[in-house]
Structure 1
């Protein structure tokens, strides 16, 4: 099943069969149409039946892989089949665009191969609602292979081990058992990335993987300020420090979603009383970015209603994911600011608006369940925590129960209570500190 190089143009230009100039951060056509520019410059392959020999021009799947065996060839075939799914509801690249580069890594790590097999089995079972026993068998084998790998200190540092851990955590949310604590995944990734950051600079795949997996750790640490972040995090964050302040949205880039900005927020939340000015500045930018993103989504809805065929697949849903993260971050900072200014009517009104936006967004994205709404539960759980009205809490709870029907392993209702307890602790500690300074 050799790979045949495909266009490097962005997704929008490829769908319309237009020539893409591949300008960064957005091509000329996407900038003119004011639409997201995704995938520009990315190397793609079209996979066809049959395996090419080493003739001139043939593409070899992996320079890293061992001599392929029947097992690795089957894993490769099955995973490529999963990657070729066009139904956005079961598009695995929601969990990271780097997944498209994994086929060339198959055969390089027993743990990675087992994790890929587990993902493939789970996706097929979820799509067809058949084959769950086989999926569970592969899931168990994946964890066994990973435990064996982690017993070797050298393999623990490998980028392939990091990928395997990430894939198994995804599988756990699909077909496994509920976590004991919401923060488990973030803690595991933080510890593994601490070791894997030594792979930074070794190649495009390694760098892309580290950045991709760091982003959920950053979000997790914002939701849970007690999550430990090692030295790797601050080294990585510093490397993303902009050369000049980002003062406005440029080519669809949102200042609040820049990695370095989010990294700073995690630091401020560990002692919010010392960083109230910075928190307020970041919050105001988040409110502005939320307004920008809502306007973009309104335009997308209007274009879709007019029958525009361009807005299919990932290009339709990526802005929804970005807006979900913005709402989550804004609600967290709103909660922290209200600790120090509990009587602010403006903050209370903005919180109510953000909660309403989260509910609206969940309705807009609902047709993309289950994979296509993977970004929504954390935002909704944060909205539940921030809501004062029991009627609104019940409304959010009903939506989250629907998500639990998709993946019973994820207990989002418990997550809401967990988040509530976490931020109640922060509120008590900050109020105690304020009280102590007055006497």
Structure 2
């Protein structure tokens, strides 16, 4: 039965299986220059819940407090189907550290769709079976068996052209990708998932994806494709796909107003342009500059709001997600800042702003420590951007310490390779920027105009 020890040591010492002296901060965290979190706190653990008679297994994830009696989840209606019961119980876990809704709000609409797609059922079973174990990484054979069955079932489903285009098949691929990250299987196949999603998204008829679950699913699945496209320029959704999405999204009812809460303007549609910004920035410098200014304004407003009383009045889960949004805005702003600095390294303002955004990411990682693992899963890519962009040795050392610490949650992400690759991209841009500047200086000198003088 998986559980979390009742030790009151800090999170960092517990994850490293080291004895904690429970100081504030503890000696080990102070030496490593990382935030010391969790000392003296009660821990949560998963316990098994009896399932209906005749069920194929008795695995049922339930959160309970380690120092108290088990807390049973209250469900108004207990479905007859064991898989649906297991999925509902996973969704009932609202602790931000273990809330699977982090991967998309559409998951809450998934239980009533189970039972009509073998691929979706197998992927859902693999997900909820792995959920109680993903933090400890002590994966039992039963979970690995269900993961393998999900892969085989999906493969069979993809051979059916009609089933391959259905929203349920797309959702199955997404759930398998999540499960793969939890159980620590080799990351070599992760790009395959994004590539498969890309090809299926190209083939779907978006007009059949009405508002609600299907369209929320499509938007959620676009994100891993965009992120993979940043690493691999060949993984791209066509511009026609995004133009069609704009038309469909405008037909949806507008979201409820949040007049007092500043929201970032960065949407999935705008994020879809980032792979092109990164790989061919010289063709998009005006757009990059405009987006960067918008992100600057958003980050300033969000930072001010986080220090106001209204922020403290929000529920814990909304506070956590707002902090996540702020850190993500700072990270993507830092990405664009580094691109712009590549073409104008003498701009001291950009250099100062880079240091501020980097510090925001570092502080965001510290704030998110109490939300680990699931509630802080966004931190690793943010830290990777900050590490690749930083030319400050002190900040780089702080980032590296946090990357090492956070990778214990998701060991399949090889952050060192990601940082090295992104740094090489930035260096190529700097070399290109120097060549462009040199060519411009030569052209000006041939006209008899001193380099650096403004042309009137």
- Structure 1 residues without counterparts, runs of 5 or longer: 1-45, 52-69, 243-248
Which of 265, 273, 286 is 2:282 aligned to? 273
- Once the two structures are TM-superposed, the CA of residue 192 in structure 1 deviates from its matched residue by 2.5
Which of 343, 362, 382 is 1:340 aligned to? 343
Q: Distance in 2 between matches of 1:194 and 1:237?
A: 15
Residue 48 (structure 1) aligns with: 76
Residue 315 (structure 2) aligns with: 311
Name the one with the larger helix percent: 1
2:325 corresponds to 1:352: no
Contact 1:256–1:262 under 8 Å retained in 2? no
Contact 2:331–2:358 under 8 Å retained in 1? no
- Once the two structures are TM-superposed, the CA of residue 208 in structure 1 deviates from its matched residue by 1.5
Instruction: Provide Cα deviations, 1:83-120, integer angstroms capped at 9, x if missing partner.
Output: 01122110000000100000011111111111101110
Residue 140 (structure 2) aligns with: 132
TM alignment of 1:239-258, pairs within 5 A? 239-240=248-249, 252=261, 254=263, 256-258=265-267
Residue 166 (structure 2) aligns with: 158
Instruction: Provide Cα deviations, 1:220-245, integer angstroms capped at 9, x if missing partner.
Output: 54566554222423432465579xxx
Residue 388 (structure 2) aligns with: 385
Contact 2:368–2:375 under 8 Å retained in 1? yes
Residue 15 (structure 2) aligns with: none
- Once the two structures are TM-superposed, the CA of residue 179 in structure 1 deviates from its matched residue by 2.0
Structure 2 SS opposite 1:167: helix
- Once the two structures are TM-superposed, the CA of residue 331 in structure 1 deviates from its matched residue by 1.1
- Once the two structures are TM-superposed, the CA of residue 386 in structure 1 deviates from its matched residue by 0.5
Residue 105 (structure 1) aligns with: 113
- Once the two structures are TM-superposed, the CA of residue 50 in structure 1 deviates from its matched residue by 4.0
Structure 1 SS opposite 2:339: helix
Alpha carbons of 1:137 and 1:413: their partners in 2 closer, same or farther (altered >3 Å)?
same
TM-score (norm 1): 0.74
Contact 2:320–2:375 under 8 Å retained in 1? yes
Instruction: Provide Cα deviations, 1:164-216, integer angstroms capped at 9, x if missing partner.
Output: 00111111111132423875554343223222353644452211111222234
Contact 1:401–1:413 under 8 Å retained in 2? no
Residue 408 (structure 2) aligns with: 405
Alpha carbons of 1:299 and 1:187: their partners in 2 closer, same or farther (altered >3 Å)?
farther
Which of 321, 325, 328 is 2:324 aligned to? 321
Contact 2:262–2:298 under 8 Å retained in 1? no
Contact 1:223–1:332 under 8 Å retained in 2? no
Alpha carbons of 1:141 and 1:340: their partners in 2 closer, same or farther (altered >3 Å)?
same
- Once the two structures are TM-superposed, the CA of residue 415 in structure 1 deviates from its matched residue by 2.0
Contact 1:196–1:210 under 8 Å retained in 2? no
Q: Distance in 2 between matches of 1:352 and 1:182?
A: 32
Structure 2 SS opposite 1:137: helix
Contact 1:79–1:116 under 8 Å retained in 2? yes
Structure 2 SS opposite 1:405: coil
Contact 2:262–2:301 under 8 Å retained in 1? no
Instruction: Provide Cα deviations, 1:385-428, integer angstroms capped at 9, x if missing partner.
Output: 01002332232122122222122222223222232233334444
Alpha carbons of 1:411 and 1:430: their partners in 2 closer, same or farther (altered >3 Å)?
same
Alpha carbons of 1:80 and 1:127: their partners in 2 closer, same or farther (altered >3 Å)?
farther
More divergent stretch after superposition (226-235 vs 204-213): 226-235
Residue 127 (structure 2) aligns with: 119
Residue 288 (structure 1) aligns with: 297
Residue 87 (structure 1) aligns with: 95
Residue 7 (structure 2) aligns with: none
Contact 2:226–2:271 under 8 Å retained in 1? yes
More divergent stretch after superposition (155-164 vs 170-179): 170-179
Contact 2:292–2:333 under 8 Å retained in 1? yes
Alpha carbons of 1:293 and 1:183: their partners in 2 closer, same or farther (altered >3 Å)?
farther
Q: Distance in 1 between matches of 2:197 and 2:426?
A: 22
- Structure 2 residues without counterparts, runs of 5 or longer: 1-73, 252-257, 444-456
Contact 1:156–1:195 under 8 Å retained in 2? no
Residue 190 (structure 1) aligns with: 198
Q: Distance in 2 between matches of 1:369 and 1:97?
A: 19
- Once the two structures are TM-superposed, the CA of residue 371 in structure 1 deviates from its matched residue by 0.2
- Once the two structures are TM-superposed, the CA of residue 262 in structure 1 deviates from its matched residue by 3.0
Contact 1:178–1:410 under 8 Å retained in 2? no
Alpha carbons of 1:128 and 1:352: their partners in 2 closer, same or farther (altered >3 Å)?
closer
More divergent stretch after superposition (264-273 vs 290-299): 264-273
